[in-house]
């Protein structure tokens, strides 16, 4: 067993890698996929850095927001990716990682000053709402 502490931000980085893999260029839309791929790579790098700050509530919330952004990026680009099942897995993994990070951040807000805790919880609600929206987008696209 590894001595390092694991964090849901690592799952978010994995979800970003899945989206990168799902964006292999194909003849119909290589430029658009390159942009999505670069955005996913940027989010992956950001989440890898945030995974090292697993004890800090602000880093947890920043990672939750990044995972929610990733879930949205993957959900919005499902129609054009070259590997739709892999991109769908990315949406679910990123949204789940966001929810897990929110849970950890909320547990750490008790130690924060009141106004800081309120802002952290507000950001947590925003990340949760965005992660849930990404899931709803792929579950029934006709409703959104």
Using the predicted structure, report yes or no on whether residue 63 has a pLDDT greater than 90.
Answer: yes
Interval 60-69 mean pLDDT: 96
Please report whether residue 2 resides in a domain: no
The pLDDT of residue 114? 83
**Does the residue 1 lie in any domain?**
no
CA distances for 127 relative to 32, 79, 105, angstroms: 26, 24, 11
CA distance 66 to 29: 25
Instruction: Say whether pLDDT at 58 is over 50.
Output: yes
Residue 98 falls inside a structural domain: yes
- Determine, yes or no, domain membership for 3: no
Tell me the per-residue pLDDT of 67-120, one tens digit each, with 9 for 90 and over. Answer: 999 999 999 999 989 899 999 999 999 999 999 999 998 888 877 788 888 888
pLDDT tens profile 17-49 = 999 999 987 777 667 888 999 999 999 999 999
Domain presence at residue 45: yes
Range of the domain at 49: 8-139
Q: What is the tally of structural domains in the chain?
A: 1
Is 0.75 topped by the overall pTM?
A: yes
Packing angle, helices 114-139 and 57-76, rounded to 10: 20
Asked if residue 144 is part of any domain, the answer here is: no
Residue of higher predicted confidence among 6 and 38 = 38
């Amino acid at each position: 067993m590894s001595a390092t502490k694991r964090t849901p931000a690592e799952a978010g980085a994995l979800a970003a890698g899945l989206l990168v893999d799902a964006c292999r260029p194909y003849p119909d839309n290589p430029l658009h996929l390159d942009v999505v791929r670069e955005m996913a790579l940027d989010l992956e790098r950001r989440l890898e850095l945030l995974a090292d700050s697993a004890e800090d509530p602000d880093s947890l919330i920043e990672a939750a927001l990044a995972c929610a952004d990733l879930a949205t990026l993957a959900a919005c680009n499902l129609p054009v990716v070259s590997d739709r099942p892999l991109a769908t897995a990315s949406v679910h993994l990123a949204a789940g990682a966001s929810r897990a990070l929110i849970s950890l951040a909320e547990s750490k807000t008790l130690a924060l000053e009141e106004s800081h805790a309120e802002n952290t919880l507000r950001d947590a609600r925003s990340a949760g709402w965005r992660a849930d929206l990404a899931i709803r987008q792929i579950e029934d696209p006709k409703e959104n």
